[in-house]
Amino acid sequence: MSDTTSHDSIDFDRYDRIRPIRWTGDALELLDQRKLPFTVEYVTCTDSDAVAAAIHALTVRGAPAIGIAAAWGVVLAARTVDADDGTQAATRLAPAMQRLNDARPTAVNLAWALARMRRVLAASGADWREVITREADAIASEDLAANRRMGALGAALIAPGSGVLTHCNTGSLATAGFGTALGVIRAGVAQGRIDKVYAGETRPWLQGARLTAWELQQDGIAPTLVADAAAAHLMSTGAVQWVVVGADRICANGDTANKIGTYQLAIAARHHGVKFMVAAPSSTVDMDTASGDLIHIEERDPGELFAVGGVRTAAAEIDAWNPVFDVTPHALIDAIVTERGVIERPDGAAMRAAFGG
Ligand code: MRU
């Protein structure tokens, strides 16, 4: 694993203005991503079931962001529980934590954040409420620091003057701030390495068209939107040198689950000699899952495919299949970038060397 770059040339605050999750001290405010880009509105959650419902409904979305939201959900659940110490609290909080965990199945960050909350609870005494509040705060601030670090590491792989294609939304909206793949792109633009950013629209939920395009505009970066179906043709023109995507779960052999459509981008990239980068914090690495075929791929309501912006576009009375993630085999990935460093040509041995297990 290599780590040879520095943060020095990036003005992070200039490129990091959006916060999707705000803890007020007694409530959780979530920027409602169902309404962006036309309405910028926070919803307020005052109990953990509201947080679980918001995660399920994609009010808050993106692997790191749902982990952070779930951690704050535990803090909200704690208000309904009396306990003398952390062990007792853990038992009483277990049903609420299970409901948070069940809100979405694919991104490991959700289970990872809840496991972290469970661990500190088990080790705490009468001060367990303060301990879990500090932990939720730490999960969020560590994510922001990880994103800034991996932004610099990933950008260093990209040659000046490059074009990049990204998929879904992996920016501030999907994290505590700055973003994973979009953090790499922000850092690459800041350093003059990236001249042109293409964003795939990401059917059916349009995370690319609605969220990534809007986020980049806030930074003064003008993205070019492409239909998902245009990606292979775009690569054939020579306009992009890297595909840069995020991840929802990276397995012990490097296989990576990410937004549906990522796998076909990786296949097209390999065919066209375009490099393929996955950027994700180490909280997305799941060394307990051996390979991608073991990942639970979320399937959502087929109705998401029938309409755009509430207007029906599909023929009446048809069936649809709506898996919302896919798995890119590790052999198609040129680099996995985490805050711990860069893994080139990831496989089981390289992953074990980086993450143990
Ligand atoms: O269904 P979503 O919008 O939660 O899916 C999000 C993605 O697939 C992202 O690429 C991934 O979570 C990484 S976000 C930093």
Q: For residue 64, which atom of ligand 1 is closest to its CA? A: 15
Determine the 3-state secondary structure of 337 from DSSP.
strand
Taking residue 303's Cβ as centre, other Cβ atoms within 10 Å add up to: 12
User: What gap in Å lies between CA 66 and CA 52, rounded to an integer?
Assistant: 9
Query: Which pLDDT belongs to residue 4?
Result: 43
Q: Which of 173, 203, 171 is nearest to 189 (CA)?
A: 171
- Region 79-97: what's the mean pLDDT? 97
Active site residue 13: no
Q: Per-residue pLDDT tens for 166-213? A: 999 999 999 999 999 999 999 999 999 999 999 999 999 999 999 999
Locate tokens 């730490």: which residue?
138
User: What gap in Å lies between CA 181 and CA 186, rounded to an integer?
Assistant: 9
Q: Per-residue pLDDT tens for 293-333? A: 999 999 999 999 999 988 999 999 999 999 999 999 999 99
Query: Which pLDDT belongs to residue 9?
Result: 62
Q: Which of 223, 250, 214 is nearest to 20 (CA)?
A: 214
Ligand 1: residues with CB < 6 A are 61-64, 107, 168, 170, 174-175, 180, 207, 246-248, 258-259, 324
Residue ID of nearest Cα to ligand 1 atom 10? 246
Residue ID of nearest Cα to ligand 1 atom 6? 62
Query: What Cα–Cα distance (Å) separates residue 316 from each residue in 12, 205, 300, 306, 308?
Result: 48, 20, 19, 9, 14
Q: For residue 325, which atom of ligand 1 is closest to its CA? A: 8
What ipTM was assigned to the predicted interfaces of this complex? 0.99
| C-alpha triplet 205, 253, 177: angle, nearest 5° | 45
Domain 150-355 has CATH 3.40.50.10470: yes
Q: Which of 98, 96, 95, 91 is nearest to 122 (CA)?
A: 91
Domain boundaries, the chain: 21-146, 150-355
- Domain range 21-146, CATH class: mainly alpha
Q: What is the pTM of this model?
A: 0.96
Q: Which of 228, 102, 109 is nearest to 174 (CA)?
A: 109
Q: For residue 324, which atom of ligand 1 is closest to its CA? A: 1
Among residues 16, 143, 219, 248, the one annotated as catalytic is 248
Q: Per-residue pLDDT tens for 205-238? A: 999 999 999 999 998 999 999 999 999 999 999 9
Q: Which residues pair with 327 in a beta bridge?
A: 257
Is 61 annotated as belonging to a binding site? yes
